[in-house]
Each structure stands twice: as C-alpha cells, then as structure tokens.
Structure 1
C-alpha cells in the first residue's frame, strides 16, 4: 500500500491511497463467505457455492463492493498511522479507481488537530477580586441562619409582607374552573415570589376568611402560559418570629457555645468561599489570556458539530429538567435567537480552543493522571450528577467515558501549570499565592469552558444508570 498526505488547510488533509489488488485477498475471501451464507443456488448446499458460480449468478461487482467496504477502514487507518495524523471525526472517502485484479485507489478527506505552537505564557498577568469579608457580610450570613430557625404563630390581623398565609386557590380560564386549577391549604410567605404574579398584592391586607380575585399568567399545568382569573381565600395569617441573636441561639443553630464563636466561624467560611471564588477567577482569566496568545485554527465541521451538540444538550437535558423549552428560556434570559446563536458559537469556539491548546500542553509537559487524581475527580463529578460514586463510576466505565474524564483532569493540570507561572494580583495590589489550590479546581474551570464533554459524560452516565435500573425492575 502507498499513501500520500496533502494539506488542504491547517485543519484538513486529503489522503491519497493506492492498494495492490493482492492485498484485498482476505477481504475478497470474506466477501465470498458472507454472500455464501446469504444466498441459495439450486444444486449447491448453503455455504458451499463456488466463487465462479457466485460471480456468474450475482456478478463480480457485488463481490468487489463487499470486499472494498470491508477493507477500506483498515487501509484508511494504516494511511492515517503512516502519515502520523491526529484525525477528528469521520473521513469523506471517494474511490477513484478499482481495477479488478490490479488496483484499488481512493482518497479520504478528514479534519485533523491543528499543529499548535505553545506560546510563552510566563508573562501572563491578571487581576482578581481581593478577599474581603466585612462585618456586614458576617451579619448577613448569621441573619440567613437565623431566618432558617424562625417560627410562625397565628395572628388575628391583616396579612402583611413577611407573614405566612394559608390559602385556598381556584383558577378559571374562559369562565371554566381548570381541572388542575384548585388547591387548598397552601402555605405562602408574602413577598417570596414563589407563587403566581399578583398574589402578593391580592392577599396583603386580608384577614383570615378574607377573599380576593386577580388575573395572572399560569406558570404550570394544562393551561400554562394562559391568563387565568384566580380566586384566593385566606384561611390563616401567621407571623414569623425570629429567635434572639444570643448565645442560646448559637447553641441551638450550631455546634458553638457563644454567638461570637458562631460569627467567627461564619467569617472563616465566607473567607474560604471567597478564596475559592478568587482561585476560580484567576484560572478563568489566565485561561482567557492564554487563548489570546495562541493561534488555534478550528475545523469548520467540528465547530458546527460542537454548536449542534451544545444546543441539543441545553434543549433536551438542561432545559428539559427544568420544564422549559428554548423559546421560554430565551424569553427569561431576554435574548433573541440570533444573540443566543452568536453566544453559543463563541462558547463552542472557546471550548475547542481550550481543549486543543491544553492537550498540546499536556503532551509538551508530559503530564500524567494517577489513579488518586482520577478517583477524586470522579467523586466530584458523581456528586454534581446526583449519583453515588459507585453508580457513577460503573456507568462511566460501561459508557466508555473514562478517557474523557482522564482528559479533563489532565487539562486541569495543564491549566494549573500556566496559572502557577502567571502573575496574579488582587484589586489591592497584593500578590495572590495559588500554590495550594487543587488541580481539580482547575479541571472545573476547564469544564466550564468546554462544557459539552462534561454534559455528555454526565448524561451518558445517567442514561446507563437508568438503563440498569430499568433492567433490574424488569
């Protein structure tokens, strides 16, 4: 076999392959054997039809077609390996010559990973938010905890904002009560915005036994999106009472004995959270600067597939779980379809560039992923998917997603190398030391830029788990 590689552009090549006919012998034998099992000829036992009879009865062309289809993948793979190509996706194959007994010639056009020159990233400088926790931040955190321990007591007065009212609801559309438009004994906190638009105004000022009618667009049910006439009746008004902020509250709401200890712990937690956010911000900004420095051509076909995959994942997985369609999502986001398409393309381009350049950096720095790193990453991914580590691991293995997870960790380690070499300062001008940050956090940043693989891995893992659960039930 002879092959040659022609570079069409930085991300696409054409392979020209010539195969001597004798190299088709195994595939020709396999073709005759396959046809033998599929056809019957009077006078011959099934599977024992001579090759010359098959040629006469069914045509030599049918045998050659079967043999070529069988042999092409091997010859294509051999040509790819000979050319040391890193191919992407499926090739477009064209048979240019097929001379029985003499020669098979074909061309294959395919996208390849571009050759990327890793830029000098030692001069990257970024600025991130400083870690500042104010007394107000601590007070807000403690107040949120206090709010969770609030109690409610019935009162004999008109309902006001912050009160918890028990209500009965009846929704009508076109004068008819909707099949799913009646609810009783619903508890609602006035001002929370958790029910229908207009309900806060309707119930505010009502006492137990009071009733009001208002018009609102239904957010769910059979008449979702329609304007309905809603009658609300208040059956109870209860005031929320917050516990006193003292040592007794600290003992009730935490493991601490005093309020001062509780506040100190809240400050520590807020600082830790802001430190994590700062590290993530540094990684994101360093990655953006790295992408600006590198020339990364993108295969058009790969970009189109990436855009379609992102749209599919959003519509059929993320939005589906929230009970939304794309139109409703765009309405909530205040975006046009054109704006959404432009953003999706931009995100897809960034994701591909991120993967290409970090993979190249993995190879250049000879970065490896050990079992402990992979296990830690897998456990974090399992937690985010809502599955147990064992379930997620088994589903990942069965779905063939292990290489994908290894790639995520490796790219995270590559990004960590770049971050370590960069100069990171906060808004106060202080140098930020990120040496203690986990490589797995960098992997999260990589996932955020290249979310398609992450969503696909989680989706396939969940699908595998569901399939297994269905089989067990059966």
Structure 2
C-alpha cells in the first residue's frame, strides 16, 4: 500500500500529510513501514517540541518522531498495534539531521477488527447471587476474629485459630509449585470452608483440625475455578503445610468492630457488610462469566499473531526471570545457553497464549466501546486487598512500586466487559 505525500504549505506546524509512507503486510498482521519525512517537516517537528520542552535532547526528538511515523502508518492502513514495534532487521536507526530527510524502516504488528460472531450463540452458566444472613454473620465473625485477642496455642487446632506456616502446593506431575510461600498467617477454616493462602482460596483446610504447632500436614485440594490463568483453573493440588506456630483467637465483640469502622451501631455495620458482599459476589460472577465466555470466543475468532512480535515479547517478558533463576543456581555460560534453548519453546508458547488473550480482550473492548477509569481500577484493588487482608492504599502502592499494576488493569477491563456482555449472551 503506497501513500504519497501531500502538497507543501506555509504553516509553521508539522504536517502529517507530508510524511511519505509505504506499508506492506509481509506476514499476517506483520507490517513493514518505510517512511520519509522531508527536511522542512523535521525542522517544524523539532521547533514544536522545543516550544514545549526547550532543552529536549535530539535523541528524544528522533524517538518521538519514529512513534509519530508508526502511528501515522497504522492510521492510514486502519490497523491497531498491540504488541511490538521495532526497526526492520538489518537496517540502521534513522538519524536526525537539520538539513536532511528523516528516513527509516519499521516492523510493527497491525490488527484489523475481526468479524465478530453473534454473542447470543455463546452459552454461559450464571450462578444465582444471594447474600444470605448466614454469609453476613460469617463475614461479621471474620471481622471479629481480625480484631480479636491472640494467645499462644500448644493444644490441637480448631476453626478460628491462626497459624504461621510455610505452604507448598503443586499440581500433580508439575515440577514448578503453584503456590510457594513462607511465614504466612493462615486462619483455620470450618469444615467445608476455604483456607486463604494469600488470596487463593483452597478447599480441604479442615485437614488442619486437631494438629499442633511444629507439625507437617499434607492434604489434597484444588485451585479456584476463577483464576486469571484459564489453564490453572480447577487444577488438583497436593498441599504441604509446615506449621511453625499457632495462636488461639478470642473474637472481639460486634460492638467493638462497629466502633472500629465508625458505624453508629451493629445493625448499620451489618447492612454495610451485606452491601459489600453483594458487590463482591457481583464481581466474582462477572469474573466467572468472562472465563466461560472468552475460551468460546477464542475458538470463534482465531487471532494470528506475528512471530517477530512474540519472539521479542518472549525475550523481554519470559527470558529475564529464567536467566535470574539460572544465575542463582550458579550455572556457567554454556549450561545457561543450553537451559535457555530447552526452555525457549515453552516460554514462547506461553507468551503466545498470554498475548493472544490480551489482544482479543482489547479488540473486544474496542468493539463494545468499553473503557475503564481510575475509579474502576481502584475498585478492583479494593476487592483484591480485602481478599489479601491488606489496606487498599498499601496494595496500590506495592503494585506501583513493583511495576505489577498491569494485570490488575487487565482484570478491571475484563470485569467491565463481562458486565457489558450480560445483555448479549445466553444463559445455558
């Protein structure tokens, strides 16, 4: 596809129409763009940037101009980039020169909107949402235990007691643990209750009843069916728990908890708890809806991912953690190279699966005109903070500091899509 330049004008501003662009699809959704910006337009671009940032470095000007070129190229061919843009192999970086055109060749992923199926053909099972008095009372008890008095325990464990423990949980046949955490505080659940292992709720925790501090306990369990990773949902687990200490908790009174939350009385607090539970269950249902919907949609709308982009994402996202792990083992250069070669196919397949999902979700959001706000993200963080037993502001700071807020943004978008989809899909 060839896009010729427009005519020159006397405007002092940068003119996108003067960009000379040739775009060609060399593989499905893999585009190569050859661009040229006339010298006069390069000057205008630099002047405009210096008007905003007088001390801007020439390299920053060049980087921004490349971004403008690729965005312009995508706009002209009606495509959207979701993964990666880079220089075309065996070409040089474009050089910024005040008297010469700015030229470069770039490879970029570029996707068109797919042909969407009739969403009513997708069958979804929706569980009824009912916040019973028993659920409210259980939540109230949990709050009373959180605020309760703790004393060391040497006797047998029972529901409501707390332990500090190391947890190791594996899917049978998998070498890598699904859960591995040390020094975590766990509350012993009732029979048929769930053991909260840092936000992952596991059945089978009643196996801890009757055990003592400094004992090891093994039981079978399963991962939740609403995990972010579909391949892990509902998988069986072998759970090993090493108890290092135990505590008996005497619950605080309901009046004490109400005062802690600033509620005028216990009944108003229970009304607030009921409302919060309804919100939590609605979010859980949206998550369940989406995890049923997306695999069916992926079969109906296959997305072909360009190999160059998946290769690059594997290098950027999957390779660094592996190299860090290999360095910790003290492997030499040759052994590290062999380990990377062995792991590369599975890392690349994992990157393909993750980015395939992300791209389809973003396309779907664009199709449904779904956008998320800062308040939507904060709602997701508040929900996760409650699951993890943390203050929302502390969790948000932790996510920002660690650079791990991305998955929460993705989850927020998915929940909002699920809410929008409820009027389009069929219960079955």
Q: From the two aligned structures, give the one with the greater helix fraction.
A: 1
Larger Rg: 1
Whether the TM-score (by the shorter chain) exceeds 0.5 is: no
TM-score normalised per structure 1: 0.41
